[in-house]
Amino acid sequence: MTASDALPARPLGFTLDGERIDGREGDTVASALLRAGITTFTRSIKFHRPRGPFCFAGSCGQCLMRVDGVPSLPACRVPLREGMRCVRQNAPLGADADVLRASFGSYETALGTRPPAEPPRLFERNPLPTLLLYGPEDHVVLPSFPWKAAAACIDCTGPLFVPRAGHFLQWEAAETFNKITTAFCR
């Protein structure tokens, strides 16, 4: 049997922020939204930067949504059902308000708000207050990362080492992470 022999998937209707969208039987919420051209699923909490699916395994937190009233479900792992109500999280400014601006992200990283004729900012130190947390059991980044990250910041708190945590420190040591982050943001 080939893909062309398969029966068409049954359409399923659901809503995102109150707007009706059509998906297909067998979709996850994420695959249905991506098929509909929607790539912003949530926003970063501090700067409201757009976030969408990254790992498609439910472990990165980039596609968390409120689904049928249940908050923080990974849209990439939730099977689509008829009539589902999905709501984006952390989007007080409107999740699609800066789609164009987001496309300029790599340029803003290098150039900031300077005219393109001025030199890039790649080698300038970050002047923003920065909290640097590190899980010493992280096997993804090099052990020298916390010191290199601290050197890139002018106003750095840390690196603070959080015992028994690794790359996903915000989940592995959630209570400690929340307390330190709350204190830093005050």
- Residue 145 in domain: yes
- Residue ending a domain, choose from 68, 101, 134: 101
Residue 14: give its domain's CATH number: 3.10.20.440
pLDDT tens, residue by residue, 161-181: 998 888 888 888 888 888 888
Region 27-34: what's the mean pLDDT? Answer: 93
pTM, full prediction: 0.49
Based on the fold, state whether residues 96 and 145 are members of the same structural domain: no
Task: Give pLDDT, residue 95.
Answer: 46
d(CA 21, CA 84): 10
- Residue 10 in domain: yes
Based on the fold, state whether residues 9 and 81 are members of the same structural domain: yes
More confident residue, 119 or 10: 10
pLDDT tens, residue by residue, 53-103: 888 888 888 888 989 988 889 999 999 999 999 998 876 544 444 444 444
- Residue 109 in domain: no
d(CA 151, CA 8): 55
Region 6-18: what's the mean pLDDT? Answer: 85
- Residue ending a domain, choose from 101, 135, 166: 101
Range of the domain at 133: 125-185
Region 127-150: what's the mean pLDDT? Answer: 83
- Residue ending a domain, choose from 101, 135, 165: 101
Based on the fold, state whether residues 170 and 91 are members of the same structural domain: no
Query: Exposed, middle or buried, 159 (CB in 10 Å: 0-12/13-18/19+)?
Result: middle
Tally of domains in the chain: 2
